[in-house]
Amino acid sequence: MGFTPDRHRMYFTDSKARRIDLLDYDAHTGGLSNRQVWLQTPEGAGEPDGMTVDSHGNVWSARWNGSALYRYTPDGHEDHCVEFPARKVSSVTFGGDDLQDLYVTTALADGSRTEEGAGAGALFRLQAEIPGVPEFFSRIGL
């Protein structure tokens, strides 16, 4: 999950449904409402998995079984894709002193590197042109 820069809305990855939903978020109560599909990923292109939001409100989405990290503008248009030598790209987060390091994890699950890719199970660091924001600790209860 990730939050819009104004923290009035929250993105939620539903991997099984291959989509990212957008919900209204009440920072005072932690309440969520008005769930709607924000992005539906194409069949056969993997499932969205871990994600984060940068300081411009772009959504970065790791693609499990899709070998890539995608960046989407706030209106849901894909504007950047980074491919990885691993099928299971699992998560992404910003780090570093200026939050311009983008850390991307991959998984080696139920297979071998021959099947999953030479980078399966690795951690990658990229330099992002748009910085991230510190992670937000919400009041959402489970």
Catalytic residue check, 49 = yes
Please give the Cα distance from 59 to 57 (Å, whole number).
Answer: 6
Range of the domain at 15: 2-127
Assigned domain for 138 exists: no
Task: Tell me the pLDDT tens digit for each residue of 94-119.
Answer: 999 999 999 999 999 877 898 999 99
pLDDT of residue 109: 83
Residue 31 Cα distances to 35, 108, 124, 139, angstroms: 12, 36, 34, 8
Three-state DSSP class for residue 113: helix
Question: What does the block give as tokens for 119?
Answer: 């980078």
Please give the Cα distance from 20 to 132 (Å, whole number).
Answer: 19
Rg (CA), the chain: 15
Assigned domain for 46 exists: yes
Assigned domain for 69 exists: yes
**Domain at 49, CATH number:** 2.120.10.30
Q: Residue type at 26?
A: D
Assigned domain for 104 exists: yes
The chain-wide mean pLDDT, for the chain, equals 94
Q: Which of 26, 49, 75, 97 is catalytic?
A: 49
Through-space distance between the first and last CA atoms of the chain, rounded to whole angstroms: 13
Three-state DSSP class for residue 116: helix
Assigned domain for 61 exists: yes
pLDDT of residue 27: 86
Whether the per-residue pLDDT at 141 is higher than 70: the answer is no
Whether the per-residue pLDDT at 139 is higher than 90: the answer is no
Task: Tell me the pLDDT tens digit for each residue of 30-56.
Answer: 899 999 999 999 999 999 999 999 999
